Amino acid sequence: MKDNIKTASDIVFKYLKGKNINKLQKMTSFFSGWEEIAGDVSKYGSIKDIKNSTLIVETDHPAKSTLIQAQKRKIIYRINNVYPELEIKDMVILVNHKKVDEIQEYMNDVNVLKYEKKEKNEDFEQLLARLRKLADNQS
């Protein structure tokens, strides 16, 4: 019975046996090395996938996509120098609309709070004006 029990490393080794482990290591290195490859614009997006020699990058705002897009050729050039086996020919930048919607909802909440605060300030100012008027009439 004990012979039937396999460790996780045995299972992983059996799965990877015959597969190109070097390519897997390169892919892991590539995904974790995004900051080094993309430079300053890496903070605006993250690698989501590689399909058909196309790198797919995701951002949470259209402006961030534009910043990455401006560096597209430079990023592809760097990738192909460091990871030629990936054969990246293009890069697509997607905006995660769920994140955009969350940001928009947050901004709407902030605007509502600002409006409510403004209304309260106006109410307070009106109250002060009425009190001043009452005080003037009392004198």
Domain 1-95, CATH 3.30.300 — does that match? yes
Asked if residues 48 and 94 have their Cβ atoms less than 8 Å apart, the reply is yes
Virtual torsion, Cα 68, 54, 58, 20, nearest 10 deg: -120
What tens digit of pLDDT does each residue of 59-82 get?
A: 988 899 999 999 999 999 999 998
Position 1 scores a pLDDT of: 47
| pLDDT tops 80 at residue 14 | no
Cα torsion for 27, 33, 37, 41, to the nearest 10°? 120
121 pLDDT band, cuts 50/70/90, is low
Q: Where are the domains of the chain?
A: 1-95, 98-139
Q: Is the pLDDT of residue 3 over 60?
A: no
